[in-house]
Amino acid sequence: MRAFLSGIRGGPVNRTWGTDLQVMKDRATVVCWRHGRILFVERGRSRWSLPGGTVRRNELPVEAARRELSEETTLEGHELNYLFQFGGLNKRHHVFVSILPDEARPAPCNEILRCRWFRPRKVGTLVTSVPTREIVRLLFGQGDHAAR
């Protein structure tokens, strides 16, 4: 984990990006990493995103991250490490990372149509939300990390 975190541009940070002028809904977002690739899930409308979802009332962000990862990909029991907060227009993403072993096999579940691995530099070619693209950009720059 330490080697992965040292490869991130500037290392882990603890700050919120975006505006705090309005009430933000909390969302837990998980960056699953394996062999230079990030796990993305496809929701309806052919939009790719990082696994995650809304933090429920009285739920900790890490609990929401575990629950959403399991509900969307069937992945359970993997270590989650908190990275940073990212504020979109109306959501505050609590971003976690999980380094997955080779035997981890994500499978689409609930509202998820597909699970697929992409290199960070490929994200710019996918149909994603702005926060998804920005979270990947903050972690990996322009995809240079994956090319090394």
Q: What pLDDT, on the 0 to 100 scale, is given for residue 45?
A: 75
Q: What angle do CA 5, 134, 80 make, to 5 degrees?
A: 40
Domain interval for residue 48: 2-147
In DSSP terms, which residues pair with 39 in a beta bridge?
Answer: 117
Distance CA 54, CA 57 (A): 9
Mean pLDDT per 10-residue run, the chain (148 residues)? 54 48 84 96 88 95 97 94 88 95 92 95 91 92 47
Query: Which element (helix H / strand E) includes 98?
Result: strand 91-99
CB 99 within 8 A of CB 30: no
User: Measured between alpha carbons, how far is 30 from 95 in angstroms, rounded to an integer?
Assistant: 6
The predicted pLDDT at position 87 comes to: 86
Closest to 96 measured CA to CA, from 67, 74, 71: 67
The DSSP code for 23 is P
Q: Which pTM does this prediction carry?
A: 0.80
Per-residue model confidence (pLDDT) at position 18:
52
How many domains is the chain built from?
1
pLDDT at residue 66, rounded to an integer: 97
* CATH code (residue 8): 3.90.79.10
